[in-house]
Structure 1
Amino acid sequence: MQCMLIDDDIPTVQVLREIIPWPSYGFTDVSQAHCVQDAQMLFAAGVPDLVICDIEMPRGSGIEMIQWIRERGYDCAFIFFTCHESFDFASTAISFDADSYLLKPLNQEKLEAAVMKAVGGLRWRRQMGEYQKFGKAWLKNKGLVEAGFWTDILMATIAPRLDLIQGEILKRELTIRTEQSYVLVLISVFLSEIDERWNESTFRYAFANLSSEIMLLRLHYDRIVSYQKNSMLYVAVVMDEDYVSRTQLEERARLLIQLMNEYLKCMATCYISELQSIDELCGAKAELERMDHSNVMFRGKVHLQQEVFQRECQQRFDLDTVYYTSLFVEREKAQIVNRLKKDLEQLAAQQRLDAEMLYVIREDFMQVVYAILAQNHVQAHQLFTDRLAQQLYVKSEHSIFDFMKWAHLVTERTIETIKQNQRSEGIVDKAKRYIDEHYTRDLNREEVAASVFLTPDYLAKMFKQATGLTMKEYLNEVRIKSAKRMLIESQLSVGQIAMETGYDTISYFSTVFKKLAGETPNAFRARHRDMQWNNDV
């Protein structure tokens, strides 16, 4: 690997070259530059793997250097150092994916730690690049014989009977022992939490690969089964009973959760089964899936199959919908969110909260919201069908934290929309502006009402009261006003003007024009041209 040192202070560069045992970290070449321009020229000779750069230099800053590198897509690790501790510098460095930010005078121990971290991160990123490159190939070859066998076992494609399982082992010429016991490790990730930069096949490959490397300490896809169920993505790892101690297994599972969060940017939860015979593995998988489905309060942790999430689910909990309705009527946003948070925390403290109860509370809460919106003639689907609202709705099943983010959004939008709509003049102005901006289209009152989140009948009533016109009448006035301007200022034909102002036929355009202007379009144009000619004379 290659490293580039950039600093206008030559003694500092010399110190950096001498105090770090570069070969120990895999570096065979260390180049140096004393300004940003020289460094950029050196990139033509070869892109370094690591750049160590001062931030403050006379002829261009280190921030400009990293920005230049990132804009060109160069795959470099980057370490900054500076004399001045500055939050602005640090935050900017982080935004450009710098690996470390060190203060002068440089401490050798901290510098070596930063180099080690940068090299590790670089190797990981490049390995993930290989995942992207070879992910499709892995997907095409995931039907390897043993992997297919374990998939059939876990999915009950092979009936859970020892004689049938033994027959399949012989048929597939595998060396799997039916008399020994196995441990099943199930790792779960919510599909909605996968970073948008991943495509699903590549993420599944990286997820399975990381699970194999951590749990089995090698790439061993024969024991890895990746599958999707409802909103979850699972990786199941089948392990021999004597492969590792239970303590080591739990340690590896905790490390896997940490690395999934650090590198794949998602929360994973691990479940470890008891020792199972080969014909019991399918049932163990189903039991671990049930644990995962009901797990609301303990995600991002390691759980054992014999562990019981202590809940008193037989005690029914009913959301106080009357109280919440009164809070919505009084527009008490903070009280709504705080009361909901208090209800959930009390249930969690009593260990009564599970996925089913969270779902019921969410639906009861939405019932209150829908009722309030209906009373105020607001179309609920217009408020909650955008991408953010849908994402938060799906995630609200995961945890109290995600539930409260969703509830806050719903509460905020509901109350703010009602407050806006009760200021009828403002709503009518918005509707008029929407018509003014879209009159050239085949516009109808349903579309206009949707733009202000009201039902068409309710908006029509408000519009008539505020303007004395129906929305159709106002639309025609806007269109004819535009048509008059075109007739005077342009050479377009009457038919072209009709189309430009949103009318399907010349005859209907002429009818409306004569009704509002008192004469036909041609007569209007001729009269104004005569007036213009007279003025010119």
Structure 2
Amino acid sequence: MNILLVDDNQYVLEGLLDGIDFSGLGFSQVYTAKSAGKARELMDSNSIQIVITDIEMPNGSGLELLEWINAVHPGTVTLFCTSFADFNYAKEAVRLHCFDYYVKPIQYSDFTMHVVKAIEEVQRLESEKQIQKYGKYWMDNQWNNKADFWYKYLYRLNQVTDDEIREEITGRKLEYTLDQEIDICIIKIGKSIKIQMLTEENKDFIFRNISEEIFVKEFYVLEGLLITANNTMTVILSNQNKEEHRLRKLCGELLDCLHKYVAQESNCYYREHIKVREARKAVLQMEEISLDDISKEKRVIDYQNYVMERKEEYSADLNEWESLFRNKQSENLMAKINAYMAEQMRNKNMTGQFLREIRSSIVQISGTILQENKIEAYKLFDDAYYDTIFTESVKSVSNMQRFAEYVIGKSIDYIKEIEKSQTFITKIIRYMEENYNRNITRDELENIAYVNINYLSRIFKQETGKSLHNYLMGIRIDRAIAMLQEGKTTVSEVSLSVGYDNFSYFSRLFKDKTGYTPKEYKNMFSENKKNCQES
């Protein structure tokens, strides 16, 4: 499909070429003209289905051009794109059967939808011609009929028998046989902003146009094109030429086109000479390797070669990994993990499943050793960064390396810290000194030290000679003594300031430590201070 842009302003033409993804919409050629005369020359010498033209131009208006197109090239879909919102212009455009009328300035995302509608109009007009030639039933239903057959057959949850396939083919009046050979391509389409902006209808339209342009020229028949929820496109082809070794090249062209105009990260998996009765099994096998493929490079993969190239798998020496972890040899451990992943890549075994197994091994080993050191792993790694790298780790080898380095490094570093028990004891004491005036919970202390509260309590008492509760109480009473000595606040205010809202309880604790009630202590200190001043 070709399109002609007509405008006497070169900047408008360049803006359209830059702002509208014509190739992505399925256009093979985009012609431009700066006058109606040049436009007529191009239309006489080329096959052009859509014309976008300005109205006010020197040496012939867009309205005159449309009148000529109707006479000489009927069936051409024409859009006016003009700065003039004049009613008379619009009225004349309607009289001349202009398909659409767009007033500048051009909003390219909005204008793209007008172009899509024009494409649909071209297809509708072409369909009407085909209907006259081949009959309404065949043209209206054949593509959707085939697509529905393939979707229900290939993506059916339960097994399907030969009799069921044959019955479905017969009931739909399709010309397939169970032993007929087809070729299947599965394209894992990378996520992109362009993809996310497309509606399902536009996806079907664009991908079908691109696929037909690439495959039909090489005598393939596009039997079906299915797009599933996981951004996977399945293309079913029948090969009329039977020439070998063309499908790989065409799949490469398809990826180039998708990479350039639609999605940056796309892989294509193909398989030839599949009997219709075996198509469902083949698709499941191909989808399995496509979903497990972690490569980010654009590549075409022959399923048969992929299976044969994979070498015998071998397991990692997890005992060695655990020993290195336990001995805090983080560099040696990372070297072992990296070597294991490199070997799997050489053997073409490095898949999403292998990365999940590596991640599981790292998590289990770190969890076991942290628990032995009374450290709660779920608290140590309770942060947004860990959540992110955990999810991303199975998507690439580099992501897994980042995850392993973070988990191993943070685990070993903290184990080294708590082996110097004074490290987290100091943290706890500092925290209590800064927050003595409020209720400090067990969870807070666990989150500071990343260790189980029972283990923390035991080590704390061992190092300080006091329980957590008694140490905090001591800090509070010391602060209360200092405030009472200053004499600037009441006893009840002091009680609240050091974290006790129950005055009686505070008084009892204070007396247990000093031998005086808070009031007695304040009065005694004031009297002593007064006597000192008088003397």
**TM-score when scaled to structure 1?**
0.56
In the aligned structure 1, how far is the partner of 2:261 from the partner of 2:514?
Answer: 73
Give the superposition deviation at 1:25.
0.9
Pairing partner for 1:287 from 285, 288, 291: 285
User: Amino acid of the residue matched to residue 473 of structure 2?
Assistant: N
Pairing partner for 2:232 from 232, 235, 259: 235
Give the superposition deviation at 1:379.
2.0
User: Is 1:302 matched up with 2:291?
Assistant: no
Identify if the C-alpha distance between structure 1 residues 346 and 519 changes in structure 2 by more than 3 Å, giving closer, same or farther.
Answer: same
Identify if the C-alpha distance between structure 1 residues 432 and 241 changes in structure 2 by more than 3 Å, giving closer, same or farther.
Answer: farther
User: Is 1:217 matched up with 2:206?
Assistant: no
Give the superposition deviation at 1:457.
3.3
Hey, what does 1:226 align to over in structure 2? Answer: 228
Hey, what does 2:255 align to over in structure 1? Answer: 253
In the aligned structure 1, how far is the partner of 2:429 from the partner of 2:201?
Answer: 55
Per-residue CA shift, 1:248-279, capped at 9, x if unaligned? 233212443566765xxxx4433334465776
Give the superposition deviation at 1:473.
1.6
Pairing partner for 1:412 from 409, 419, 430: 409
Give the superposition deviation at 1:435.
2.5
In the aligned structure 1, how far is the partner of 2:463 from the partner of 2:488?
Answer: 34
**Rg comparison, structure with higher value:** 2
Identify if the C-alpha distance between structure 1 residues 476 and 289 changes in structure 2 by more than 3 Å, giving closer, same or farther.
Answer: farther
User: Is 1:374 matched up with 2:371?
Assistant: yes
Hey, what does 1:155 align to over in structure 2? Answer: 155
User: Is 1:478 matched up with 2:475?
Assistant: yes
In the aligned structure 1, how far is the partner of 2:464 from the partner of 2:300?
Answer: 64
Give the superposition deviation at 1:485.
6.7
User: Amino acid of the residue matched to residue 162 of structure 1?
Assistant: I
Which consecutive residues of structure 2, in runs of 5 or more, have no partner in the other structure? 1-8, 18-105, 114-143, 213-221
User: Is 1:312 matched up with 2:311?
Assistant: yes
Pairing partner for 2:342 from 342, 345, 350: 345
Q: Is the 8 A contact 2:226 2:234 kept in 1?
A: yes
User: Is 1:466 matched up with 2:453?
Assistant: no
Give the superposition deviation at 1:449.
2.9
Q: Is the 8 A contact 2:149 2:168 kept in 1?
A: no
Identify if the C-alpha distance between structure 1 residues 216 and 452 changes in structure 2 by more than 3 Å, giving closer, same or farther.
Answer: farther
Q: Is the 8 A contact 2:184 2:235 kept in 1?
A: yes
Q: CA RMSD in A?
A: 5.0
Secondary structure at 2:367's aligned position in 1?
A: helix
User: Is 1:22 matched up with 2:11?
Assistant: yes
Per-residue CA shift, 1:185-231, capped at 9, x if unaligned? 434479xxx79xx8xx98495799668635643999x944332xxxx
Secondary structure at 1:343's aligned position in 2?
A: helix
Pairing partner for 2:333 from 329, 332, 336: 336
Secondary structure at 1:342's aligned position in 2?
A: helix
Secondary structure at 1:378's aligned position in 2?
A: coil
Q: Is the 8 A contact 2:422 2:463 kept in 1?
A: yes
Per-residue CA shift, 1:11-69, capped at 9, x if unaligned? xxxxxxxxx963441289xxxxxxxxxxxxxxxxxxxxxxxxxxxxxxxxxxxxxxxxx
Give the superposition deviation at 1:237.
3.5
Secondary structure at 1:416's aligned position in 2?
A: helix
- Taking the TM superposition and a 5 Å limit, the aligned residue runs for 1:98-247 are 126=109, 152-156=152-156, 160=160, 161-162=164-165, 165-166=168-169, 184-188=184-188, 203=196, 213-214=206-207, 216-217=209-210, 223-227=225-229, 233-241=230-238, 246=247, 247=249
Per-residue CA shift, 1:153-188, capped at 9, x if unaligned? 443169743355458859xxxxx7656876554344
Identify if the C-alpha distance between structure 1 residues 237 and 363 changes in structure 2 by more than 3 Å, giving closer, same or farther.
Answer: closer
Identify if the C-alpha distance between structure 1 residues 522 and 154 changes in structure 2 by more than 3 Å, giving closer, same or farther.
Answer: farther
User: Amino acid of the residue matched to residue 458 of structure 1?
Assistant: Y
Task: Give the paired residue count.
Answer: 386
User: Amino acid of the residue matched to residue 386 of structure 1?
Assistant: D
**TM-score when scaled to structure 2?**
0.57
In the aligned structure 2, how far is the partner of 1:403 from the partner of 1:510?
Answer: 58
Hey, what does 1:421 align to over in structure 2? Answer: 418
User: Amino acid of the residue matched to residue 288 of structure 1?
Assistant: M
Identity of aligned residues (%): 20
